[in-house]
């Protein structure tokens, strides 16, 4: 594939990152390789529409994200959702990104399978493919429902050839199987609440930040 074309693509990976962990970092780095982009943008959700406000503020979650990606050349943080009032809808984020990059450039919005399962409850979810492709990464312990609007939508929009998607700005859904690390932010918060250590679940700088700010105690 012509690398000059690939370099024009933009890739996003959104999450609450409460806190960021090695599962996020591994999957994001592998997605950057798969999509052949120089960098993948990690976008912390400021005001998650589908859950209560996280214990760590959006600024703290962004700070941990920046500490975590410090030495990772393929990852960058984009605080775009921190600049908007609540709630942080993905459709608003991809609309804004599309305005910034123009009509032609492929825009890949990457999410894990557990997020995909909730997609039909997202604000204007069926419009997302007007602005971006959706790349789905498998996640341990998550399965798709057997039938329903989500399955119909996947059948209608699924594409198995990434090189075709690289030539189009938006409109397709692509499934990929990447490293499956069985780590979650919930698990990290639970461990911290019980006073257990989280040393091998997230980078040391994040562990230190959590300790300094007495998060998740």
Residues found near ligand ATP in the complex (CB under 6 A): 15-18, 23-24, 27, 111-112, 114-115, 137, 139, 180-181, 183-186
For residues 43 and 178, give the distance between their C-alpha atoms in angstroms, rounded to a whole number: 20
Could you tell me the smallest distance in angstroms from the CB atom of residue 171 to ligand ATP? 20
Say how far apart CA 186 and CA 207 lie, in whole Å. 15
Query: 16 or 172: whose CB is closer to ligand ATP?
Result: 16
In angstroms, what is the minimal distance from the CB of 51 to ligand ATP? 8
Closer to ligand ATP by Cβ: residue 2 or 33: 33
Query: What's the min distance (Å) between Cβ of 62 and ligand ATP?
Result: 12
**Considering beta carbons, is residue 7 or 196 the nearer one to ligand ATP?**
196
Label residue 12 exposed, middle or buried (CB < 10 Å: 0-12, 13-18, 19+): buried
Q: Which is nearer to ligand ATP, 162 or 201 (CB)?
A: 201
62-82 exposure pattern, b = at least 16 Cβ within 10 A, e = fewer: bbbbbbbbeebebbbbbbbbb
Residue number of the CB atom closest to ligand ATP: 112
- Three-class DSSP category at 47: coil
């Amino acid at each position: 594939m012509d690398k000059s074309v690939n370099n024009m693509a933009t890739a996003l990976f959104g999450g609450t990152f409460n806190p960021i962990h090695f599962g996020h970092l591994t999957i994001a780095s592998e997605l950057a390789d798969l999509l052949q982009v120089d960098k993948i943008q990690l976008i912390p959700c400021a005001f998650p529409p589908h859950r209560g406000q996280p214990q760590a503020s959006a600024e703290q979650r962004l700070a941990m994200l920046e500490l975590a990606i410090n030495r990772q050349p393929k990852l960058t943080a984009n605080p775009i959702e921190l600049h908007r009032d609540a709630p942080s809808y993905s459709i608003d984020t991809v609309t804004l990104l599309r305005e910034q990059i123009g009509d032609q450039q492929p825009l890949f919005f990457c999410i894990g399978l557990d997020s995909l399962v909730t997609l039909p409850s997202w604000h204007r979810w069926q419009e997302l493919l007007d602005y971006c492709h959706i790349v789905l990464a498998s996640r341990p312990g998550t399965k798709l429902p057997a039938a329903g609007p989500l399955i119909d939508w996947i059948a209608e929009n699924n594409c198995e050839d990434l090189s075709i998607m690289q030539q189009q700005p938006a409109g397709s859904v692509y499934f990929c199987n990447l490293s499956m690390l069985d780590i979650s932010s919930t698990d990290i918060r639970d461990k911290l609440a019980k006073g257990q250590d989280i040393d091998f679940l997230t980078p040391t700088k994040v562990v230190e930040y959590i300790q300094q700010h007495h998060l998740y105690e």
